[in-house]
Structure 1
């Protein structure tokens, strides 16, 4: 059933100018959001495409609600909220999981819950849309999680650890060339360590998953099992089925000898987990490269010939900007506030650097 318009002020036939402005703004936002979902759908196939187009249709229904309220006051189309325009730009250019994560946050900020001119159905739609987009974004996060996790956290580790190292060594009063060599050594040591550690971690995780995957060769034994003993039921009980369900499923397999029935949904889930973990080589290379890309930033002022306090301040500024960026990216992907995540990363990085700076001053004074 289409949404029914609600009057801005009961008992009046002419809406106020403030109401018209608000409705026109809502209309523009709904138009932009529908366009965002259509742009995202163009970059998807199958079920994801259908879901995004259905979301676009829902936004179009909301658009019609505001058009009915406005009547002859629709006027020219407004530009819409800045964040929605940015979302549309990103959807047209990239169409990635980042856009879905931003769309998830946008759906969660809908004003319809408190606006009496929006119907209860529209407010409910927006809440459900947030969950739909969350589900789509989760699919993308799963595809990114292995390699992307290594990349983002590798860069963050490089930024924090090498800034702390460079600042601590510099505060001890050693010559500039020693600070530079220390920073480069820290970059190489950290990048190699991160790459090797990530490779071992991912390979170990994949091996653990593989060891938990049912052996397909075991299916060949089904035809020779004792029907009365029905030991096949023990397999399903071990995989988590109740005794009754396991017995029934095993009897069906033994009765039909349909080996396809021996397949367990857990097998498919483990296959998905393999994809989420990623490969050891890709994770190791990502960790190495991104740690190095982060660790080189605090060294840049020294590479360009700066020294002393100016080099320290510029290094801290560059690293601070990079920490804000990595924190914001993590915030976007996790559906949290990019600003809060960025500031948290900044506080952690500067906190570690401050500790090593004080230690450098202490050891420098003691050595003198």
Structure 2
């Protein structure tokens, strides 16, 4: 039966002729991939509860239907169970160890690369399933992305700022031809100045945001006045209108509150995104910046000098930039390699400009 007619699909189609060896190998590969993907979803489900767990188990069941399709095609050629490809096995390892949003982001990308649309041996329903699976995993990953977006943004921004700004500072001073001790002191000073600036800025930012949000929270004393309002003449409806309700909605809600027909608080606080602790944000920003800014200084701390120190510093920072870029790509469900190379190009571009300026000033001074 055809899924396009609104009926269940039973994949019991058998090939008319004996399959070729290349067909058998391809079908076995698909079978192994479906089994591995189902295992990933079950592993993720074991670390979840409630609705997310049910959704992941449903995805595992769907992969099981696809698995059965390839078993039916293979018939007696199923052979011994094979392991999935390297990507799917890596996903399974992450799912068993972490079960994090990064695994869901990787799964989202894996679902988007399904080969079924271009393979005549896969049904249209299977190809459509994979497209739907991508959206389901995207929605699950979005929940996790939202939960860590603030911390993740601060971590990536702080670490990259420390990496690029201190590398640029160290390379610029080194290119000017100054003594190695001055380069080291400049790098440490840049680390401390930048980290303290980041921490202080984040503290002021979060503190100010909290104060602004507190100013919008309704006063509890005002809410206590509601029982004493005149039923026929009062301004409670104006409060609701000021908070975004239409005239009709505000009037009706005010009447319900005064008449005692509404059990909701008369003046509830507006919903605001949690901004966290100002001190905690300041400490985190300090640490994130310092963790990036220390890397360009490491070669000078261990006694490297001249061009060797510059090259080692650039290589270390390049590896760190590649790592942070890849993490951003994984979390976004995009290509980790492209994001890593973009991060590297931006960081080295900024550092390269200061290095050239340092060479220019060094030649001019000479």
* TM-score with structure 2 setting the length: 0.90
Matched, 1:171 2:175: yes
Deviation string 1:51-96 (CA, Å, 9 cap, x unpaired) is 2222222222222222222222221122212111111101111111
Match of 2:301 in 1: 303
Aligned to 2:243: 239
Query: Aligned pair in 2 of structure 1 residues 32, 229: CA closer, same or farther (>3 Å)?
Result: farther
Aligned to 1:348: 346
Partner of 1:40: 44
Residues 27-176 of structure 1 correspond to what in structure 2 (within 5 A)?
27-176=31-180
**Higher normalized helix content (fraction of residues):** 1
Separation in 2, partners of 1:49, 1:101 = 16
Match of 2:4 in 1: none
CA distance in 2, matches of 1:140, 1:333: 10
Choose from 2, 10, 13 the match for 1:4.
10
Q: 1:226 Cα shift? A: 3.2
Q: Which residue in 1 is equivalent to 2:24?
A: 20
C-alpha separation in 2, matches of 1:279 and 1:254: 37
Given the superposition, is the C-alpha separation of residues 47 and 230 from structure 1 closer, same or farther in structure 2, using an over 3 Å criterion?
A: farther
User: Measured at CA, do residues 249 and 357 of structure 1 come closer, stay the same or move farther in structure 2, by a change above 3 Å?
Assistant: same
Q: Give 2:185's aligned residue.
A: 181
Question: Does the CA contact (< 8 Å) of 1:158 and 1:295 recur in 2?
Answer: yes
How far the C-alpha of 1:154 sits from its partner, in A, is: 0.9
- Is the CA contact (8 Å cut-off) linking 2:11 and 2:68 kept in structure 1? no
C-alpha displacement of 1:2: 4.5
Residue 109 (structure 1) shift:
1.7
Structure 2 CA distance for partners of 1:240 and 1:364, relative to 1, 3 Å: same
Work out which of the residue numbers 256, 279, 282 in structure 1 matches 2:280: 282
- Conserved in 2, the CA contact under 8 Å of 1:8 and 1:117? no
Asked if the contact 2:13–2:72 (Cα under 8 Å) also holds between the matched residues in 1, the reply is: no
- Structure 1 Cα separation of the partners of residues 166 and 183 of structure 2: 11
TM-score with structure 1 length normalisation? 0.90
RMSD value, Cα: 2.3
Q: Please tell me whether the aligned partners of residues 14 and 72 of structure 2 are also in contact (alpha carbons under 8 angstroms).
A: no
Distance of aligned partners of 1:204 and 1:53 in 2 relative to their CA distance in 1, 3 Å threshold: farther
Q: What is the distance in 2 between the residues matched to 1:208 and 1:117?
A: 60
Deviates more, 1:133-142 or 1:306-315: 133-142
Report the Cα distance in structure 2 between the residues aligned to 1:238 and 1:119, rounded to whole angstroms. Answer: 56
In structure 2, runs of 5+ residues without a counterpart are 1-6
Deviation at 1:8, TM superposition (A): 8.5
Q: Report the CA distance between 1:290 and its aligned residue.
A: 1.8
> CA contact under 8 A between 1:4 and 1:119: conserved in structure 2?
no
Q: Deviations over 1:19-65 (max 9, x none)?
A: 32222222211111111111112222222222222222222222222
Moved more, 174-183 or 129-138: 129-138
Partner SS, residue 166 of structure 1: helix
